[in-house]
Amino acid sequence: MGYLFNGFIKAGELLFTGDAQTYSAIFTTLKVSTLSIIISLMIGTPAGFFLGYLDFPGKRQIRAVVDTLLALPTVVVGLFVYAMISRQGPFGGLGLLYSVPGIALAQTILVLPIVVSLTATAVESADRRLKMTLYTLGARGRQIVLTTLGEVRFAVLAAAVTAYGRAISEVGISMMIGGNIKWHTRTITTAIALETGKGDFAMGISLGMVLLLIAFFINWMLLVLRRHSQHGF
């Protein structure tokens, strides 16, 4: 166990001395995950609202598909996106392969069902009197959407936090689409896999500690949001 203890010591040195390679992986991870969450919220929040608010033919089937996609394997997403953006793919000319935007695109596909499903559930769980009250007050279109989402805002934020946790901890997509290129597309998870395989436990442990801290922070935020939602403020 001595090597593990030494790994923690060296990990602390890497983090506190501002090791460039370590922080490059950290910043790349935060950049990719944040970009994917912004895109998924822009698409998934309105989609989740309409899925939860409206009644239309095929709604139950669409909801079943969205809920099924919650367990979508990351390597499957990576394989699909790779086929689309590789040189032989239809979008190969965009130059997304082995790039930060390419990873973000694939992660967006991965976490989008989370945002859609949890937002739809939140809208369905909203006070049934809200819809009638809004119509009575003359609200239409955009006013209904914004007011309803405002009422379930903590649940929507919880969806965003949950999706962010899924994005920041995945490894398959980052490895397949990003290529694990040093100083460019290497993320925390891919760096951990690489450095541990090379026997550099200090680097792996330091990045693992960062990932755990981020995960704890995300779970803490989710807990706070749930408490706020339960107390109605």
Q: How far apart are CA 231 and CA 233, in angstroms?
A: 6
Residue 133 pLDDT: 67
Report pLDDT digits (tens) over 136-178.
666 666 777 777 777 788 888 888 888 998 899 888 898 999 9
Confidence tier at 65 by pLDDT (50, 70, 90)? very high
pLDDT cut 70: percent of the chain above it: 88
Mean per-residue pLDDT for 42-69? 90
Output the CA–CA distances (angstroms, integers) from residue 224 to 150, 159, 164, 207, 233, in the order listed: 17, 13, 16, 26, 11
Report pLDDT digits (tens) over 14-42.
778 878 888 888 899 999 999 999 999 99
Phi and psi at residue 112, to the nearest 5°: -55, -45
With beta carbons less than 8 A apart as the criterion, state whether 177 and 102 touch: yes
Residue 135 pLDDT: 65
Structure tokens at 232: 């109605």
Residue 80 pLDDT: 93
Q: Lowest mean pLDDT: which of 36-40, 136-140, 197-201, 203-207?
A: 136-140
Residue with tokens 């559930």: 121
Output the CA–CA distances (angstroms, integers) from residue 182 to 71, 105, 115, in the order listed: 30, 20, 31
3-state secondary structure the chain: CHHHHHHHHHHHHHHHCCCHHHHHHHHHHHHHHHHHHHHHHHHHHHHHHHHHHCCCCCHHHHHHHHHHHHHCCHHHHHHHHHHHHCCCCCCHHHCCCCCHHHHHHHHHHHHHHHHHHHHHHHHHCCCHHHHHHHHHCCCCCHHHHHHHHHHCHHHHHHHHHHHHHHHHHCCHHHHHHHCCCCCCCCCHHHHHHHHHHHCCHHHHHHHHHHHHHHHHHHHHHHHHHHHHHHHCC
Report pLDDT digits (tens) over 82-107.
999 998 889 988 889 999 999 999 99
Q: Give CATH for domain 25-188.
A: 1.10.3720.10
- Whether the per-residue pLDDT at 208 is higher than 90: the answer is no
Residue 134 pLDDT: 67
Q: How far apart are CA 210 and CA 26, in angstroms?
A: 8
Residue 53 pLDDT: 85
Residue 124 pLDDT: 85
Mean per-residue pLDDT for 177-203? 85
Phi and psi at residue 93, to the nearest 5°: -75, -10
In residues, how long is the chain? 233
Residue 42 pLDDT: 94
Domain map (residue ranges) of the chain: 25-188
Please give the residue that has the higher pLDDT: either 76 or 131: 76
Residue 1 pLDDT: 57
Residue with tokens 């408490």: 227
Mean pLDDT, all residues of the chain: 84
Q: How far apart are CA 199 and CA 182, in angstroms?
A: 17
Q: Lowest mean pLDDT: which of 66-70, 74-78, 139-143, 171-175?
A: 139-143
